[in-house]
Structure 1
């Protein structure tokens, strides 16, 4: 099971490497994943504005970093998001198993965040 999770995560990393994703693009993809999480927020309009700002920043970054093929590069980066989300679930399950089996001491805040995501 651990092997499958590691394979999923490394698959996302290989895919982003094949795309030639730059550091700034990866940061913005991470921000987009976090902004598009299933977290329950009271301010849906604020969340939508935040997500739109991240998408605009990603678009600007891709245009600046890849002026000759920006549209294709942006599309390919966005197509990697489902695999990134799938790997996110695998990572959460891994840490939930580590916590459940009490294999190591975990920071209380980390455990609370993990439990909040699994509810």
Structure 2
């Protein structure tokens, strides 16, 4: 799991309402002990809109998503159920995790939300 502590750009895949994938670059932090991955986002972004639209549709808990990163032959994917968190304490904690992984604190943004992913499957080759 050290691969998830290194500084890597990642991708987040959400599903559009028509079922086609929407893939965007993001920063991701992963807590394997808690089984949670976190992505900070603007509340009006398409990824957040997709998650909100899908929440409750498939299983009543959240939207199915995947985050992925790679470097050379090393790669890792985390699949799971995403929900949108808006609590200031949760967002601040996610910003601290981001700073620990990426070496800088995200710029202040009053429109920031947290995409919290309950990881259900891990895959990769590190």
Q: Indicate the TM-score class for this superposition, using the shorter chain for normalisation.
A: under 0.3
TM-score (norm 1): 0.23
Greater percentage in strand: 2
Q: Which has the higher contact order (CA 8 A, sep 6+)?
A: 1
TM-score (norm 2): 0.23
Greater percentage in helix: 1
